[in-house]
């Protein structure tokens, strides 16, 4: 079975500072990896995904994530955050050729002025 761990439930950061949201997964098979963002009172929106190829994936709003197979990690980064990035971020994993997603518990990013 797959599992996803987001160690940080909340990450406070000042505007224009860099941020990294951590995600680790456990799986014995090849997986697809995703980051979703949820703004207050909204649904989940796809930020970026890793299916294959380059381990550095770029997404929307200046976010990027790096797949590290040896460390089973898929950390999300942004070099300079904005107030508008305040949201909850979810990491998810699915097995290749399977539909079922496993979501982490989410990390609330709070960007302060």
The torsion defined by the Cα of 38, 104, 78 and 69, in degrees rounded to 10, comes to -150
Residue 90 found at the interface with other proteins (CB under 8 A):
yes
Give the nearer residue to other proteins in terms of CB position, either 8 or 15.
Answer: 8
Residue 51 found at the interface with other proteins (CB under 8 A):
yes
Tokens describing residue 36: 């979703």
Q: What is the DSSP letter of 80?
A: S
Rounded Cα distance between 27 and 52, Å, is 16
Residue 32 found at the interface with other proteins (CB under 8 A):
yes
Residues 92-111 that bind other proteins (CB under 8 A): 94, 99-101, 103, 105-106
Residue 42 found at the interface with other proteins (CB under 8 A):
yes
Cα distances (Å, whole numbers) of residue 42 to 19, 22, 24, 37, 39? 23, 22, 25, 9, 5
Residue 83 found at the interface with other proteins (CB under 8 A):
no
Residue 30 found at the interface with other proteins (CB under 8 A):
no
Rounded (5°) CA angle 37-42-44: 35
Which of 44, 66, 75, 77 forms a contact with other proteins (CB under 8 A)?
44
Chain contacts with other proteins (rule: CB under 8 A): 32, 34, 36, 42-46, 49, 51, 90, 94, 99-101, 103, 105-106
């Amino acid at each position: 079975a797959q599992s996803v761990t987001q160690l940080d439930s909340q990450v406070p950061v000042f505007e224009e500072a860099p941020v990294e949201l951590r995600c680790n997964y456990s799986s014995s098979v090849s997986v697809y990896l995703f980051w979703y963002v949820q703004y207050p009172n909204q649904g989940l929106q796809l930020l970026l995904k890793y299916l294959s190829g380059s381990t550095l994936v770029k997404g929307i709003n200046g976010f990027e994530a790096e797949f590290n197979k040896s460390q089973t990690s898929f950390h999300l980064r942004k070099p300079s955050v904005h107030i508008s990035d305040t949201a909850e971020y979810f990491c998810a994993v699915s097995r290749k050729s399977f539909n079922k997603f496993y979501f982490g518990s989410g990390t609330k990013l709070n960007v302060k002025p």
